Amino acid sequence: MKNDRVRYLVVGNSTAAIGAVEAIRRLDPSGTIRLLSREPHHVYSRPLIPMLLEPDVDLHRLDLRPRDFYEAHGVDKHLGLAAERLDPRERTVWTREGPVPFETLLLACGGKPFRPAEVGGLDACGVFSFTGWDDAVNIRSALETSKVSQAVVVGGGLIGIKAAEALRARGIEVTLVELADRVLPLALDARGSRMAAAAIRKAGVELLCGTTATCIEAPGGRASAVRLRNGACLPCGLVVMAIGVAPNADLAAGTDIRVDRGIVVDDRCETSVKGIYAAGDVAQGTDALTGASRPIPIFPNAFWQGTTAGTCMAGGEPRPAAAFAMNAVEVFGLPTISVGLATASGEGTEVLTAEDEAGTSYKRIVLRGNRVVGALFVGDVDRAGIYTGLIRDRVDVGTVKPLLTTDEFGLLRLPQQYRKHLVLGEGIEA
């Protein structure tokens, strides 16, 4: 590896890194971009790793960008080469192949699965996390080598549900265990979660809420059962731990870079050290709706942060963006979209709900004052994005509140000026 001081160094090879590379190249077609990735794979879509459990999967389906992406964008890529140490003052990253000096750096190291210290047996054979390519490939091998007929997935969030879907599709009996009183507790409210639970059970998956794993029994080092807090014991040949992801901020630990739960960044995605940026699951910015400083580990946010970081690294002005939680996921075929403070209730909030007669579709809109701060759609998710826009742009919807949950609600109901702004003033002429 050349040890010239590169203009742009990117550590990471997932969503945020891609956003940054594309943003840099829009402004600077020639400055050298060097990219280091611990994983050896071409950039792949993390949300799609359940596909790797399908029997006849075409691996190219997981490519997040075409195979010529690095070449087309002039990226000096080093896949399978991890960044091991960072010295912000020397502005250098060390790898096993030597130092990599930089002018600007983007830390897009993503997250790592949360491993609860109090649960025993996590290192046994047959226990997996489900956050990356290797996890999926390992599970796939395990399914192919040992006959697994029962599996337990610990964690009823997005990753847990996707793991359960993939395993169930292989004909395995799956039990899904969730600590909270309902599945997808952050994204869905009680009603929405009941619909999700119905879909889960209809698929033949057993769902246990309000409990969690205390230990994994593994005689001979091979997982054979999961013991739950409520005393129950679930025999199984495979365990997926999906109880959460924490920012992978190891590289910044012990340096001048301020780290809280994740690497703390401002609204330009710059860390406390000038010229060093962080984006994606590793970064901790400000939640626009709550004002809290917290990581927002979701796909679009990672891409937008990467774009912001890349733009700033190349000397451009980033578009101001409001960051808040948002998730679109199908739960065993039931579409759900949850944006902002979708489950909030209580003082200061106004909650509007609507359901269709058949009970197959549910909407929940949360308002603070005259502004939408949360929206939840289960079943019928058509045009949900309009509400995302209302949240992001803090539109005053006082005059149309009664219409918000109806099918008639649309752009036409919004003030004409906002409508014109939304379509860039060029889409609709009054």
Closest CB to another protein among 99 and 389? 389
**Separation between Cα atoms, residue 385 and residue 391, nearest integer Å:** 10
Are 411 and 427 in contact by the 8 Å Cβ rule? The answer is no
Nearer to another protein by C-beta: 102 or 324?
324
* Exposed e or buried b per residue across 155-186, where buried means at least 16 C-beta atoms within 10 angstroms of its C-beta: bbbbbbbbbbbbbbeeebebbbbbbeebbbbe
Task: Name which of 51 and 351 has its Cβ closer to another protein.
Answer: 51
Q: Is 79 in the site for another protein (CB under 8 A)?
A: no
Interface pick for another protein out of 70, 304, 324, 332 (rule CB under 8 A): 304
Residue 423 interacts with another protein (CB under 8 A): yes or no: yes
In this chain, which stretch among 67-75, 137-145, 163-171, 357-365 interacts with another protein, using CB under 8 A? Answer: 67-75
Q: Is 60 in the site for another protein (CB under 8 A)?
A: yes
Binding-site residue total for another protein (CB under 8 A)? 57
Whichever of 118 and 408 has its CB closer to another protein, that residue is: 408
Q: Does 69 bind another protein (CB under 8 A)?
A: yes
CA–CA separation, 346 vs 258, rounded Å?
Answer: 34
Of 386, 348, 392, 339, the closest CA to residue 367 belongs to 348
Cβ 361 to another protein, closest distance in Å? 12
In the complex, what is the shortest distance from the CB of residue 386 to another protein, in angstroms, rounded to a whole number? 4
Give 275's DSSP letter: T
Q: How far apart are CA 279 and CA 22, in angstroms?
A: 14
Neighbouring C-alpha atoms within 13 Å toward the C-beta of 411: 15
Least distance from another protein to the Cβ atom of residue 217, Å: 36
Nearest CA-CA partner of 231 in 208, 202, 249, 247: 208
Structure-token pair, residue 219? 């005689």
Strand ordering across the sheet containing 293-294: 263-264, 283-286, 293-294
Minimum distance of another protein from residue 23's CB (angstroms)? 9
Whole-number Å distance between alpha carbons of 356 and 406: 10
Quote the CA–CA distance of 387 and 393 in Å, as a whole number.
10
- Assess contact for 364 and 192: CB atoms under 8 A: yes
- C-beta of residue 305 within 8 angstroms of C-beta of residue 311: no
x/- string (CB under 8 A) for another protein, residues 336-365? -x-x--------------------------
Residue 2 lies near another protein (rule: CB under 8 A): no
Q: Is the dihedral of CA 91, 94, 99, 100 positive or negative?
A: negative
Is residue 68 close enough to count as binding another protein by CB under 8 A? yes
Backbone Cα Rg of the chain: 23
The site string for another protein over 362-401 (x = CB under 8 A, - otherwise) reads -------------------xxxxxx-xxx-xx--------
Smallest gap from Cβ 403 to another protein, in A, equals: 10
Pick 117 or 424: Cβ nearer another protein: 424
Instruction: Report the nearest approach of another protein to the CB of residue 72 (Å).
Output: 7
Q: Which stretch binds another protein (CB under 8 A): 198-206, 273-281, 335-343, 357-365?
A: 335-343
Residue 224 Cβ vs another protein, minimum distance, rounded to whole Å: 34
Binding mask 192-231 for another protein (x = CB under 8 A): ----------------------------------------
How do beta strands 334-340 and 326-331 pair? Answer: antiparallel
Across the strands, what pairs with 247? Answer: 111
Collapsing DSSP to helix, strand or coil, 162 comes out as helix
The neighbour count for residue 311, using CB atoms within 10 Å, is: 21
Contact flag: residue 405 with another protein (CB under 8 A): no
Position 267 contacts another protein (CB under 8 A)? no
Q: What are phi and psi of 357, to 5 degrees?
A: -65, -35
From the CB of 3, what's the least distance to another protein, in Å? Answer: 31
Q: Does 412 bind another protein (CB under 8 A)?
A: yes
Applying CB under 8 A, does 41 fall inside the site for another protein?
no
- The CB-of-264 to another protein minimum distance in angstroms stands at 23
Tell me if 274 contacts another protein by CB under 8 A: no
Query: Where does this chain bind another protein (CB under 8 A)?
Result: 18-19, 22, 25-26, 45-48, 60-61, 63-69, 72, 299-300, 303-304, 307, 319, 326-330, 335, 337, 339, 381-386, 388-390, 392-393, 408, 410-413, 422-424, 426-430
